[in-house]
Amino acid sequence: MSESSSIKVQHIVRSLAGHYGEIDWWPGDTDEVMIGAILTQQTRWENVERALLELRGKELNCMRSLYAAEKKDIEEAIRCTGFFRIKAQRLQSLAAHVSESYGSVDRMNHVPTGKLRDGLLSVKGIGDETADSILCFGFSRTSFVIDAYTERIVRCIGIKDERQELKILFEKVLAGDPKVYRQTHAHIVEYAKEFCLKKEVR
DNA sequence: GACCAGGTCCTTG
DNA sequence: CAAGGACATGGT
């Protein structure tokens, strides 16, 4: 990664922070962040919130109960997020991973970030973005989330790195503060939505 | 009616 | 490895 890329990223981070200030962006306890991370795949957040309400109503808003639940019940609750069959499967796969590998969500707190990440990535249906969202917003770890918006924004200012390099680049600039990681990702998404950065932007 | 959304996996060439 | 398709509902 070039020197100038770091400077550009620093500039983005600082400008967005100045513009938006501190925002409370991904509410919910660790269980609900994990659930939301899967439900929001290719889906608007407003629909995810509705599904979370449904899940709460059925007391299916935690890994422990999802593990034991009937898939039918999960599907019914999350229908409004689209891809509901595959997402119900993904939720149960994640719940199984948590229960079988760690025993509980709580026990995951002692696990080093790299190990946690590898474990999450071993779950079918959890890719880089979902894993990093869970780590960053659910467990307050310094694992930066690179999503489609991040890619589009950095493309606009002439950075053409792949996602893996972008992650390293941002993490170098952001140093070690998990709160800054969360804020920066939130700012990027808000900015991209506000200015309607669509797919064709390069 | 077409197009897109805070992705990921699987199949093809 | 890159590209293309599938997964599915809800909003513009």
Taking C1' of B9 and every protein CA, the nearest residue is A125
A78 and A84 in contact (C-beta within 8 Å)? Answer: yes
Closest nucleotide C1' to the C-alpha of A123: B8
Residues A156-193 have pLDDT tens digits of 899 989 999 999 999 999 999 999 999 999 999 999 98
Q: Taking a C-beta distance cutoff of 8 angstroms, is the pair A125, A35 a contact?
A: no
**Residue range A51-62, pLDDT digits in tens:** 999 999 999 999
CA of A118 to C1' of B10 (A): 21
Residue A201: predicted pLDDT: 39
For the CA of A107 and the C1' of B1, the distance in angstroms is 50
Measured between alpha carbons, how far is A62 from A60 in angstroms, rounded to an integer?
A: 6
CB-count exposure of residue A22 (10 Å: 0-12, 13-18, 19+) = exposed
Q: Model-level pTM?
A: 0.96
